A and B are shown apart, each in its own frame.
Chain A
């Protein structure tokens, strides 16, 4: 569960959005898209809390993970993380969380993937695995502005990809839901990750089954501290780090 990884690359993808690739022994793990790692950004204790970052891409052949994260101000832990470069070692807890469920897919043919901002990265590995299974994927990705957009080309290689920006500086003007309203195709299931407001609207407007990934401030990341709880309809209050971050549509009181 605790692993010492090595940084292979760490580069800026978009405004304050970084892509970190690390080498880590993956042989003992069965990783799922939607799971996350909990990163200790520095060996010093200036930052006492780890940073939960979702897995954007898994390469078992080369034993690497790609993580995409948003960088805060100069005092933030994610800023510290952004200063790491090739060869630096990085202490991570992994894999954490349940991940998206692909095992129960049967007759589904066309999947809608919806991401908002820093909720986009886990959908990339998910889409790769769905495509590997022979499913068709359509991606709708929302960002604030043109300078925030990332991974558009990556997603385009996997299926139709629509970008929405809130300020209208790139792609469609508006929110992901505006784009989805105008899509003519039928989908069998959706997977989403992004801000609560976006997940709420998706839950209320999409009639197909779906899975949502939640974000919350975390302490330990493995069920000890009770910081990241949410209210579910059938199971009462649960911890997002261990019972989530992915939940069935309608399960969580958003």
Chain B
């Protein structure tokens, strides 16, 4: 039964295709009190930057209809502290760690990748070229094909582990960006959040950053369409899909448009048990549907 959910991707032997998305799971400690982290397909840990970042001013989150805006601003203790404290803790679990790497310049990404990809706990790098909440860096790499290509190439050259590039939906044509990184990326993760705004009763932005990244069920149709397009353009590229997944039906939708595996973000806040529950429900669903493997339905939207 378990084998029906197992998936092999560059650097990643996943017991199942379900993993928490970066930024919605911190480094796992808090969730380890709720369930065994080894049950997860993988864990995408919170973004690491070269130096500690304190993030944006508060308020940093605001709920929207079937979604939420966040502008945390990549708060993290810096790559050295993450390796020393967080990865050390995670090594006791039998689960592949995908390390999200962020920065403001190519050199930052390269420096962080060199360090964190050397950790035996880390099985893959997720290159964050799509964070909308920092003043410089991040998103500018994700919205310009040339910059995205240059960065991916530079990071790939120093990484000891496969590199997955996290794409931003805040572009005119996501296929252009996907194509631009395709020669160097081992895989793609998509989508990051959509830039949005919410006002208070006085007509002022609620978030101190004014804008934030929209996530949650509200963005699922956007994610599905973009993933469908990228899958069509890159039939063999490993893709981990994300964007508003809240149920097994949603997981099947993402696989149907061509995702190899999926990540769960915002719903970890709504229901901290969501990843664990989805894995169990997916096992049942595969049995109910009489599939020999979950990937039997992969890409069926294209047929």
Flag B30-41 by CB within 8 Å of A: 1 or 0 each.
110110000000
- Decide if the interface of chain B is mainly helix, strand, loop or mixed: loop
Question: Which stretch, B52-60, B105-113, B117-125, B159-167, touches the partner chain A?
Answer: B52-60
User: Is B270 a contact of A45 with CB atoms below 8 Å?
Assistant: yes
- Most B CB within 10 A of own CB, among A46, A48, A93, A226: A48
> What distance in Å separates the Cβ of A2 from its nearest Cβ neighbour in chain B?
7
> Which residues of chain A from 209 to 240 have a CB within 8 Å of any chain B CB?
216-230, 237
Q: Known: A48-B266, A217-B59. Is A224-B70 also a contact (CB below 8 A)?
A: no
- Interface: B195 (CB within 8 A): no
B residues less than 8 Å from A91 (CB atoms): 271
Complex-state Cα separation, A229 to B145, whole angstroms: 35
Complex-state Cα separation, A225 to B269, whole angstroms: 8
> What distance in Å separates the Cβ of A113 from its nearest Cβ neighbour in chain B?
26
Closest Cβ neighbor of B215 among chain A residues: A48
Partner of B61, one of A45, A49, A93: A49
Q: Known: A48-B266, A225-B24. Is A218-B272 also a contact (CB below 8 A)?
A: no
Complex-state Cα separation, A198 to B273, whole angstroms: 38
- Interface: B17 (CB within 8 A): no
User: Is B59 a contact of A222 with CB atoms below 8 Å?
Assistant: no
Complex-state Cα separation, A229 to B26, whole angstroms: 14
User: Is B272 a contact of A222 with CB atoms below 8 Å?
Assistant: yes
- Most B CB within 10 A of own CB, among A40, A218, A227: A227
* CB within 8 Å: A-B pair count: 97
User: Is A45 a contact of B268 with CB atoms below 8 Å?
Assistant: no
> What distance in Å separates the Cβ of B198 from its nearest Cβ neighbour in chain A?
11
Complex-state Cα separation, A225 to B213, whole angstroms: 13
Interface size on B, residues (CB 8 A): 35
- Interface: B72 (CB within 8 A): yes
User: Is B66 a contact of A49 with CB atoms below 8 Å?
Assistant: no
Q: Known: A2-B34, A49-B270. Is A216-B54 also a contact (CB below 8 A)?
A: no
Q: Known: A216-B58, A223-B26, A226-B55. Is A75-B65 also a contact (CB below 8 A)?
A: yes
Complex-state Cα separation, A40 to B246, whole angstroms: 15
- Interface: A77 (CB within 8 A): yes
- Interface: B68 (CB within 8 A): yes
Q: Give the size category of A's interface with B.
A: 20 to 34
Partner of A223, one of B30, B58, B72: B30
User: Is A227 a contact of B60 with CB atoms below 8 Å?
Assistant: yes
> What distance in Å separates the Cβ of B225 from its nearest Cβ neighbour in chain A?
20
> What distance in Å separates the Cβ of A240 from its nearest Cβ neighbour in chain B?
9
Q: Known: A1-B34, A49-B63. Is A228-B58 also a contact (CB below 8 A)?
A: yes
> What distance in Å separates the Cβ of A78 from its nearest Cβ neighbour in chain B?
11
- Interface: A50 (CB within 8 A): yes
- Interface: B241 (CB within 8 A): no
Complex-state Cα separation, A68 to B61, whole angstroms: 23
> What distance in Å separates the Cβ of B113 from its nearest Cβ neighbour in chain A?
22
Flag B266-283 by CB within 8 Å of A: 1 or 0 each.
111111110000000000
- Interface: A200 (CB within 8 A): no
> Which residues of chain A from 176 to 199 have a CB within 8 Å of any chain B CB?
none
B residues less than 8 Å from A48 (CB atoms): 63, 66-68, 216-217, 266-267, 269-270
Complex-state Cα separation, A59 to B191, whole angstroms: 46
Complex-state Cα separation, A218 to B63, whole angstroms: 10
- Most A CB within 10 A of own CB, among B61, B62, B70: B61
User: Is B68 a contact of A45 with CB atoms below 8 Å?
Assistant: no
- Interface: B25 (CB within 8 A): yes
Complex-state Cα separation, A60 to B24, whole angstroms: 34
User: Is B68 a contact of A219 with CB atoms below 8 Å?
Assistant: yes
A residues less than 8 Å from B216 (CB atoms): 45, 48
B residues less than 8 Å from A1 (CB atoms): 33-34, 272
Q: Known: A1-B33, A48-B270, A225-B269. Is A217-B62 also a contact (CB below 8 A)?
A: yes
Closest Cβ neighbor of B62 among chain A residues: A217
> What distance in Å separates the Cβ of B76 from its nearest Cβ neighbour in chain A?
8
- Interface: B147 (CB within 8 A): no
User: Is A220 a contact of B268 with CB atoms below 8 Å?
Assistant: yes
Q: Known: A223-B30, A227-B72. Is A237-B54 also a contact (CB below 8 A)?
A: yes
- Interface: B75 (CB within 8 A): yes
Partner of A225, one of B59, B66, B72, B206: B72
Complex-state Cα separation, A227 to B75, whole angstroms: 10
Complex-state Cα separation, A225 to B68, whole angstroms: 12
- Most A CB within 10 A of own CB, among B55, B60, B67: B60
Complex-state Cα separation, A75 to B63, whole angstroms: 11
User: Is A40 a contact of B270 with CB atoms below 8 Å?
Assistant: yes
Q: Known: A224-B25, A226-B72, A227-B60. Is A45-B217 also a contact (CB below 8 A)?
A: yes
User: Is B270 a contact of A217 with CB atoms below 8 Å?
Assistant: no
Complex-state Cα separation, A45 to B269, whole angstroms: 11
Lowest 3 A-B CB distances belong to which pairs? A227-B61, A217-B59, A224-B26
* 9 A-B pairs with C-beta separation under 8 A: A48-B267, A49-B61, A49-B269, A50-B270, A217-B206, A221-B269, A224-B268, A229-B54, A230-B58
- Chain A positions near chain B (C-beta within 8 angstroms): 1-2, 40, 45-50, 75, 77, 91, 93, 216-230, 237
